[in-house]
Structure 1
Amino acid sequence: MADSPTSPPPGEPIGARPDLPVCARHPDRATGLRCVRCDRPACPECLREASVGYQCVDCVNQGRAAVRRPRTFVGAELAQRMVVTPVLIAVNLLMYVITAAQAGSVSQNQASPLFVDFVMYTPAVAGADQWWRLLTSGFLHYGPLHLALNMIALYVLGRDLEPVFGRLRFSAVYLVSLLGGSVAVYLFGGIDTVVAGASGAVYGLMGAMLVAVLRLKLNPGPALGVIALNVVLSFTLPGISLLGHLGGLVVGAALTAGLVYAPADKRNTWQAAAVAAAVVLLVVMAVVRTGQLV
């Protein structure tokens, strides 16, 4: 009985088995195997086990590309791990380390030149056109306790929201909420108020969590309880910017509503428009306020 044809070892000259075709990906390899999907010759290295028989790597890749990945109610691909949340925590931590090193103090890092240049200070924004303070102040913190509380809250909220919202939408909610908190302080705060911290953005994520819970028709009790507790603490504890917290909360909830309730038809376009509209509105309000102060 004749032996069944098998593929020669990799690198064996084709001339050694002239009766066999060559691998579609490796012309120097003769093979008696074929892909069950495209029927092209393929050497063992180029074949992958499938539900029925073996497929070549090209067909396997094409099959993966054709599979539609599941999407969440926001329209984002469901992420398996966080990326934006750890990056935001790392940036906040880095800013604290830099300011503490410049100030030569762990608890009095607000004496740092970088802190002074980046903190939210209304006269500097209005009088010196230092608009960056509306965003950079959200990455500064007064001492390690202030930093730790905000980063723990960011991690807990980001752990639940980022995989569902996706990286772009989660980043948009965070940054626009941060801007919303600063603009609220700029619009309604005292002229000499100095504000820093990621609290506005964190409260924006709380608002996003509440809207998401309502959109999914889940029990909003826990989300409302967390928000109510934090608002009460904002009223009662000294040295906390209530305006920054409420501004971030309102902007985060409003923007998230625009994301989760966007029409399914052309959802990405509607969501991009919601983000753009929120940013434009905040900028316009800040410009109007500047005209009143100057």
Structure 2
Amino acid sequence: MRAKTGRDHNRGGDRPVNPVRRVLRSLNCDGGAGLALLAACAVLLLPTLAGEAGRVLLRYDRVALAAGQWWRLLTAHVVHLDARHALLNSLGLALMWALFARDYSPRQWAPIVLGAMAAIDAGLWLCDSTVLWYVGSSGALHGVMAAGALAHVRRGERAGWVLTGLLAVKLAYEHWLGALPLSGSDAVVVSAHLYGVIGGVTVAAFLRPHRTPL
């Protein structure tokens, strides 16, 4: 019988696990997960290469939607005001990935994200008629955070309640006082954050997260 030495080992138990791989694993960025994150960030960053013309073509646009340009309901969430806006949301995606990526399977995350996007689109169309156009991933990322926090709560983890409380405080602040000071100089449609949370957590409520944190 081989005694445990207190070191992490690979499956064969012969060599220590690479420390870089250990760090990547802790951030949910090892192996295929890391490649998937890079691909997701590329989806957010690459549309900026199309410039203003691309942004106008892909954004949520109330008049264009009324004319039947339905693709905007999806593309609005991956196009941004500029490269800085896209980079900030990519960093937000990386943070959500590190915190929650393995709380659900990829097949579960897909409807969560789509549900958040759909809730934002419906909320803006039905409840915010003064919002003529919208771009950005922050609303969908709020839905991801809500779904991830719910997974931790359902596992009985204190961190889940802390995250839920922080998210609730942020939404309340935005509702009463507007966007957070660090949100940037551009106008922020804070209602999209609330709609994203509603959509993400509603879908997540019907899914079973992983029973143990990964």
| TM-score normalised per structure 2 | 0.71
Q: How many residues align?
A: 173
1:122 alignment partner, one of 59, 62, 67: 62
Aligned pairs for 1:1-294 (under 5 A) are: 81-82=32-33, 83-99=35-51, 112-126=52-66, 128-191=67-130, 193-219=132-158, 220-231=160-171, 232-233=173-174, 235-237=177-179, 239-260=187-208
Which amino acid in the other structure matches residue 142 of structure 1?
L
Distance 1:85 1:229 in 2: 28
Q: Indicate conservation of the 8 Å contact 1:181/1:244, yes or no.
A: yes
CA root-mean-square deviation: 2.6
Distance 1:223 1:186 in 2: 29
Deviation at 1:120, TM superposition (A): 0.6
Distance 1:159 1:81 in 2: 14
Distance 1:124 1:224 in 2: 36
Q: Indicate conservation of the 8 Å contact 2:61/2:132, yes or no.
A: yes
User: What secondary structure sits across from 1:197 in the alignment?
Assistant: coil
Q: Indicate conservation of the 8 Å contact 2:79/2:136, yes or no.
A: yes
Q: Indicate conservation of the 8 Å contact 2:65/2:72, yes or no.
A: yes
Q: Indicate conservation of the 8 Å contact 2:103/2:151, yes or no.
A: no
Q: Which has the larger radius of gyration?
A: 1
Q: Indicate conservation of the 8 Å contact 1:123/1:192, yes or no.
A: no
Structure 2: any 5+ residue segments left out of the alignment? 1-11, 13-29, 180-185, 210-214
Q: In the TM superposition, what whole-angstrom CA distance separates every residue of 1:210-245 from its partner, at most 9, and x where no partner exists? A: 211111011134312431354224642271112211
Deviation at 1:201, TM superposition (A): 1.0
Deviates more, 1:243-252 or 1:217-226: 217-226
* Percent of paired sites with the same residue: 23
Q: Indicate conservation of the 8 Å contact 1:134/1:183, yes or no.
A: no
Structure 1: any 5+ residue segments left out of the alignment? 1-49, 51-78, 100-111, 262-294
Deviates more, 1:146-155 or 1:226-235: 226-235
Q: Indicate conservation of the 8 Å contact 1:84/1:171, yes or no.
A: no
Per the alignment, do residues 243 and 96 of structure 1 end up closer, same or farther by CA in structure 2, a change over 3 Å counting? Answer: same
Give 4+ residue runs of structure 1 displaced > 4 Å after superposition.
none
